Amino acid sequence: MNTPATGPAIRTELLHIRTHEPGALPVMTKDLRLDRERLTDKLQRPLRDLRISVTDRCNFRCVYCMPKEVFGPDYHFLEREKLLNFEEIARMSRIFALLGVEKIRLTGGEPLLRRQLERLIAMLTCIDGLDLTLTTNGSLLPEKARALKEAGLRRVTVSLDSLDDNVFRAMNDVDFPVQRVLAGIDAATLVGLTPIKINMVVKRGVNERSILPMARYFRGTGHILRFIEYMDVGHSNGWRLDDVVPAKEILSVIHAEMPIELIDANYRGEVARRWRYHDGGGEIGIIASVTQPFCRDCSRARLSADGQLFTCLFATTGCDLRSLLRGDVSDVEIADAIAGVWQDRSDRYSEIRSAATVRLPKVEMSYVGG
């Protein structure tokens, strides 16, 4: 286990947290919240967003995330007892909320593969002031959308890389039809999990011809289409810079047919740059981690399904929080550990990306969550 440093700047505040009996959820009242501007990393970035992977498993084998050559039938996923249970995730989420986290996104793998996920969602919606959302490949949304909404989920993000069925089947590599994902989007819309964000990873030579059809389809629907540059997360996807379709090229293709203009971010640290159609047809987003790094405002931490804390999507190692959760450790000590890790954070991988950094060992996206 990595031993985190103690966060002295916040220690006196943390001593006022009311601890709990083993197995019970911690009790934290609003007046005990910290001055959120006090917890920052070495680059003065606050902790605002937490992405929680609830499983490392997925029913797709997308070529840029879980290629079959690596994640085939002999691949060993995490054993069930190594996964954080819902009570552990809820406890951890409450501690992170005390430390300043305002938004939690549930991810995977494919999070809807986690049984009774709606029970976890109901637990997390009890945390005061928390913005809760979920990212999914959409395959199980037709069956799950209503239960997710009734459990308290507000909205979803759906990964969809093409409307061309042949291209989509090739990219998910399990022959899954695009119409079933579109049906999931419709189901989520019907129950009010909106506005829905649609994430499209663009890879050169694979699906760049789908950029315009995707923009045309979702324009005017109220959904927000976001184009994501193909990133060098992990090593299994064989990433090369030549495979990246730059944000400028994506914008140029769309603007030539449907004029767009840049608009302000919703909040500091928003990863997508926002653009709106001149005719009022809605907006799109561009996540350009490769060509337009946004490290300087990054306020995101990631918690893997087995309780490892990562401070960057491109991290090489994490900090073991599961051992603290399952040991005789108070909420105060766990919060102190998290604060120490965050205060020691100096990650800015995308800003310093080079041939040398690309070769650094990194965890796979399916493990740490996208």
**Per-position DSSP letters for 174-234, written without gaps between them:** S---HHHHHHHHHHHHHHT--SPEEEEEEBTTTTGGGHHHHHHHHTTSS-EEEEEE----S
- Total number of domains constituting the chain: 1
In a domain, 61, yes or no: yes
pLDDT in tens, 326-338: 998 999 999 999 9
CA-nearest of 169, 171, 176, 180 to 145 is 180
Domain range for residue 176? 11-368
Across the beta sheet with 224-229, what order do the strands follow? Answer: 260-263, 273-277, 283-287, 224-229, 197-202, 155-159, 131-136, 103-107, 49-53, 300-303, 308-310, 319-320
**Range in 67-81, 176-190, 249-263 the model is least confident about:** 67-81
In a domain, 4, yes or no: no
In a domain, 2, yes or no: no
At residue 251, φ and ψ (nearest 5 deg) are -65, -40
Helix axes 165-172, 178-191, angle to 10 degrees: 90
Residue 41, amino acid? D
Task: Specify the pLDDT at position 3.
Answer: 44
Lookup result for tokens 């987003």: 285
Q: How many residues does the chain have?
A: 370
Task: Specify the pLDDT at position 65.
Answer: 82
- CB-based burial label for 8 (10 Å; 0-12, 13-18, 19+): exposed
In a domain, 361, yes or no: yes
In a domain, 1, yes or no: no
In a domain, 3, yes or no: no
- Work out the percent of the chain whose per-residue pLDDT is above 70: 82
pLDDT in tens, 58-116: 999 988 888 888 888 888 999 999 999 999 999 999 999 999 999 999 999 999 999 99
Residue 58 maps to which CATH number?
A: 3.20.20.70
Q: Is 50 exceeded by the pLDDT of residue 27?
A: no
In a domain, 285, yes or no: yes
pTM score of the predicted model: 0.87
In a domain, 175, yes or no: yes
Beta bridge partner(s), residue 301: 50
How many angstroms separate the CA atoms of 329 and 322, rounded? Answer: 11
Structure tokens, 217: 């389809």
Structure tokens, 169: 């089947």
